[in-house]
C-alpha cells in the first residue's frame, strides 16, 4: 500500500500545495457529516504524516492475519475435539470467539481509514465500530475474569467447591455477554458517545467532552470494567500462587521423609498441570491488561486534562488494544499439551518446538483435582 497516493491524499494535496504548513489541521480531511463529532481539541494539530498512516495500516494487517488464524485455530480445535469440549473449556472458546469477533470487526475498518487517512465511513459506522470494540473488549476481560475465578475455585477451594457444569459455564458466558453488551451500547443510546479519535482512523468514547454525562460513563466504566476485574483477578491468582507454593513445599518435604526424588503420581501430575495452566492464564491476563491500560490512561488524561493528547499518541492505545486479540491463541498454543497434540495432528506446520505426550483424555483446563486434597492423600 502506497502511503503517498489514494483519493484522500490526492485531493488534499491538490487543495494544499504548500504541504503541511499553514493552517492545515488533522481535521481538514474529515468528511462534512463527521465534523460535528470531532472535538475542538484536535483542530490545533497538523495532519499526520502519510507515512504514519501507512505504518499503522501495515501493523493492523499483520495483527489481523495473526489474530484471525490463531483464534480460528483455537475455535476449530476446541470445538472439534471431543476431549476438549469440557465446561471449563467453554470459557476458553468464548474468549477466542470474543477476540476473533473483535479483530474481524475492528482491524479491517481501521485499515480502510488508514488508506484514506481519515474516517470516511460516516457517523453510523463510527457508532458500530465503537459498539463492536466495546462489546468484544469487555467480553474478553470478563471472560478472563471468569476463568481466573474458576481456577481459584478448582485449585484453592478444592473438594469444598461446586464443580463447574456445562449449564454453569453457559450461564457465566451469558452474564459476560450481557454486561459487555450493556457497556458497548449505552454510548449509542446517549450515555457518552462514540467519536473519531485524534488520528481520525478509529472511533472511541468521547473522553474530551467536559460534560459530566460523558465523564461519568468513563469513570463508572473504568471502575466496573477495569479495576473491579483487575482486583478480582489479582485476588484469585494471589491465593492460587499461595496454594501452589504450599503444595510444592509439601511435596518436597514428603519426598525427603520418604527418601525419594519425587512423589509425582498421575494425580499429582494432573494437579501440577492445573497449576501450570493457572500460571499461563495469569500471563495471558497480564498481557491483556497491558494492552488495555494505554486506553485507560488516554481516557484519564482526556477527562482530567492531565496533559495534551496528540493524534499520534492516541494511535498507540488503539493498536495496543487490538494487539490483545493476538496474545491468547499464541499462549494457549504454546502451553496447552492437548491443544498442541491436536494442532500437530491436524496442522503440523503450525507447531513450533516439541509436543508433550500425555494420556490425559481431558483438557488440563477442566480438571477437578485440587492442591489441598492431593496433599491430604500424600500425607495419609
pLDDT per residue as tens digits for the range 71-90: 999 999 999 988 888 898 89
What are the start-end ranges of the E strands in 65-217?
A: 194-196, 203-205
More confident residue, 101 or 9: 101
Q: In which band, very low, low, confident or very high, does the pLDDT at 21 lie, cut at 50, 70 and 90?
A: very low
Question: Residue 47 and residue 49: Cα distance in Å, rounded?
Answer: 6
Q: Is the pLDDT of residue 176 over 90?
A: yes
Q: Is the pLDDT of residue 165 over 70?
A: yes
Q: In which band, very low, low, confident or very high, does the pLDDT at 281 lie, cut at 50, 70 and 90?
A: low
pLDDT at 277: 60
Q: In which band, very low, low, confident or very high, does the pLDDT at 257 lie, cut at 50, 70 and 90?
A: confident
Question: Residue 315 and residue 169: Cα distance in Å, rounded?
Answer: 36
Lowest mean pLDDT among 164-168, 178-182, 336-340, 366-370: 366-370
Burial 41-75 (b: 16+ CB within 10 A, else e): ebeebebbebebbbebbebbbebbebbbebbebbb
Q: Is the pLDDT of residue 259 over 50?
A: yes
What does pLDDT average to over the chain?
A: 81
What's the mean pLDDT in 108-124? 94
What's the mean pLDDT in 314-331? 84
Q: Is the pLDDT of residue 159 over 60?
A: yes
pLDDT at 135: 96
pLDDT at 101: 95
Question: Residue 340 and residue 275: Cα distance in Å, rounded?
Answer: 18
Q: In which band, very low, low, confident or very high, does the pLDDT at 269 lie, cut at 50, 70 and 90?
A: low
What's the mean pLDDT in 148-162? 83
Q: Is the pLDDT of residue 27 over 90?
A: yes
| The three three-digit cell numbers of residue 281, written as one number | 492464564
pLDDT tens figures, 196-229: 999 899 999 999 988 898 999 999 999 999 999 9
What's the mean pLDDT in 92-102? 94
pTM: 0.83
pLDDT at 308: 84
What's the mean pLDDT in 254-275? 62
Beta bridge partners of 203: 196
Highest mean pLDDT pick, 100-114, 251-265, 287-301, 359-373: 100-114
**Homologous superfamily of 48-379:** Rhodopsin 7-helix transmembrane proteins (1.20.1070.10)
pLDDT at 340: 83
pLDDT at 357: 53
Cα distances (Å, whole numbers) of residue 278 to 27, 86, 99, 284, 335:
47, 17, 20, 10, 11
Lowest mean pLDDT among 201-215, 224-238, 348-362: 348-362
Q: Is the pLDDT of residue 233 over 80?
A: yes
% of the chain residues with pLDDT over 70: 79
Does the CA dihedral 227-152-327-276 come out positive or negative?
positive
Q: In which band, very low, low, confident or very high, does the pLDDT at 352 lie, cut at 50, 70 and 90?
A: low
Ramachandran sector of residue 150 (left: φ over 0; alpha: ψ -120 to 50; beta: rest): alpha
Amino acid at each position: 500500500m502506497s502511503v503517498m497516493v489514494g483519493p484522500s491524499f490526492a485531493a488534499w494535496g491538490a487543495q494544499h500545495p504548500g504541504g503541511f504548513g499553514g493552517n492545515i489541521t488533522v481535521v481538514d480531511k474529515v468528511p462534512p457529516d463527521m465534523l460535528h463529532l470531532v472535538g475542538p481539541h484536535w483542530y490545533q494539530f497538523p495532519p499526520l504524516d502519510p507515512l504514519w498512516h501507512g505504518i499503522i495500516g501495515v501493523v493492523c494487517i499483520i495483527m489481523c492475519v495473526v489474530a484471525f488464524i490463531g483464534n480460528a485455530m483455537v475455535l476449530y480445535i476446541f470445538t472439534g475435539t471431543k476431549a476438549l469440549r469440557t465446561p471449563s473449556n467453554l470459557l476458553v472458546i468464548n474468549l477466542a470467539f470474543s477476540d476473533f469477533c473483535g479483530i474481524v470487526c475492528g482491524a479491517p475498518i481501521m485499515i480502510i481509514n488508514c488508506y484514506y487517512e481519515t474516517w470516511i465511513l460516516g457517523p453510523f459506522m463510527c457508532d458500530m465500530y465503537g459498539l463492536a470494540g466495546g462489546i468484544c473488549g469487555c467480553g474478553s476481560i470478563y471472560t478472563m475474569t471468569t476463568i481466573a475465578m474458576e481456577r481459584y475455585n478448582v485449585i484453592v477451594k478444592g473438594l469444598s467447591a461446586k464443580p463447574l457444569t456445562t449449564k454453569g459455564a453457559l450461564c457465566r458466558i451469558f452474564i459476560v455477554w450481557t454486561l459487555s453488551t450493556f457497556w458497548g451500547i449505552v454510548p449509542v443510546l446517549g450515555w457518552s458517545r462514540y467519536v473519531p479519535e485524534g488520528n481520525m482512523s478509529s472511533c472511541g468514547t468521547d473522553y474530551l467532552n467536559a460534560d459530566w454525562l460523558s465523564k461519568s460513563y468513563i469513570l463508572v466504566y473504568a471502575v466496573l470494567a477495569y479495576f473491579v476485574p483487575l482486583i478480582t483477578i489479582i485476588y484469585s491468582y494471589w491465593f492460587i500462587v499461595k496454594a501452589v507454593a504450599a503444595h510444592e513445599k509439601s511435596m518436597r518435604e514428603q519426598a525427603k521423609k520418604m527418601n525419594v526424588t519425587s512423589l509425582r503420581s498421575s494425580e499429582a501430575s494432573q494437579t501440577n498441570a492445573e497449576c501450570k495452566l493457572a500460571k499461563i492464564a495469569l500471563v495471558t491476563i497480564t498481557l491483556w491488561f497491558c494492552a488495555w491500560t494505554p486506553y485507560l490512561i488516554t481516557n484519564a488524561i482526556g477527562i482530567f486534562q492531565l496533559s495534551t493528547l496528540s493524534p499520534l499518541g492516541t494511535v498507540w492505545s488503539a493498536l495496543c488494544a487490538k494487539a490483545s486479540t493476538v496474545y491468547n491463541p499464541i499462549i494457549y498454543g504454546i502451553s496447552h499439551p492437548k491443544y498442541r497434540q491436536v494442532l500437530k495432528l491436524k496442522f503440523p506446520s503450525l507447531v513450533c518446538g516439541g509436543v508433550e505426550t500425555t494420556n490425559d483424555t481431558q483438557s488440563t483446563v477442566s480438571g477437578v483435582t485440587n492442591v489441598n486434597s492431593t496433599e491430604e492423600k500424600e500425607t495419609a
